[in-house]
Structure 1
Amino acid sequence: MPITTEFDYVKAKTLDEALRLLALYRETGKVLAGGTDLVVHLKENIARPEAVVDIKGVPGLDAITLDGYVLKLGALVTFSQLIESALVKSKFPLLWEMARTVASAGVRNRATVAGNICSAVPSADSAAVLQVYDAYVVVQSLRGKKKISVNDWFTGPKKTVLASDEMVVEIELPLFKTASGGCYAKLSRYEGEDLAQGGLAVLAFADNTYKVAFCALGPKPARALKTEELLNGK
């Protein structure tokens, strides 16, 4: 299906250029990273922007780094990069485990973690895992930079707290000092490429405390705080 909507296409060369374009177009501008959601929405006329700002050429946004005790995922980091990262597999195994369940290899090669949480679909696989890891979303605009807890990020189906002139530049995951183990379980209608019909992330810590979150079981991904209270100390 071809894209029939007319819009300005701008390939930003720097982060500052991308932010200036978003400040100019605001609600009528869309950011293009992996494009796995946006391109479909353009083809189906669900999205009708005046401008598409392509950030794939912005340097530094595709990096996975460990800064002290914080894992940093740039806005262009894909699910395939998570799978290929020895750092992610050893330090944040639930993130690595979750990435392997996402769609097909072709989609994982293009889809970004930041784009997944920006789409804010209730079935977003990365959401529950990021929530149990107490991740922060780093957003930036010409007004400055701020961090938002991923637990406060989702406001409803396909809705987040991201302002129209803001862009996600990074996702930060703190490395817990207490030893932990856990899993990400995904219920699908069939094996292979399918959206989660239910997703559950659990982290169990050596001090008998727990973090639990789910996706696709409500209007938005969320922490299961009452479940955590019941499990803590057991």
Structure 2
Amino acid sequence: MMILLKKYINYIKNKIYSLLGLNLLKQEAMLRLALKEEGLNYKNFDIKIDHVNGFNYINGIKLPVIYPKSFFQKAKKLHTSEKILTYYFNGNMSDTGGRKKMLSKFFNRNSKLVESDYGRSRFTKNKFNNHYYSELSTSKFGLCPHQKDFVGNPETMWTYRFIECCMVLTVPVIFKETPLGEKFLKGFYYINDEEALSDRISYDHDKALRNFELCVEKYSLSLDVILKLYNGKRDN
């Protein structure tokens, strides 16, 4: 009886979360907010999310992961040349994904490593976490380990954290044990964990700034896409 009651309670909770839009992936929650900021209602479009490969499809238009423009505006206000940390990480450190072991090499190297599930909360997926971005912006390099147990396409493997580093002029550090896809990395400046640990590479502000500019271009809704969506939106 208790098992059936728990299943029923979970069923009701999931129904409520679904009605309130709280069961969305962060990827879709941010896309909906990005559309809203452009005066577009997500309900007027056929939206499909490919989370494994990091793509959005709106009425058949293929797009990468999209961040709301307000995120970039807020991130730009945090840009600073006062990089007091060398390395920063904030997120899940599950043992199954191997992150804790990969990150352990960076303890006591002028680093701040924070174990947190804030980014996975169903209530904060489309919110700009000012505390997180502020701390990230004060670091020269941002640690971007993927998870070893994640099954995906090696050519398109991606992570939110890489994009968010670029948003605040923090150079991403990718890990050789969990490589990201060449298509995802194309055009961006980054280093790998072995290079970081060698201490041979210094922070480059100009390259970090170019990362930000490319990030805005690639991961926000362009005027061309917005016009296509205005012209192609279906009737309610």
TM-score for the superposition, normalised by structure 2: 0.26
Name the one with the larger strand percent: 1
Name the one with the larger helix percent: 2
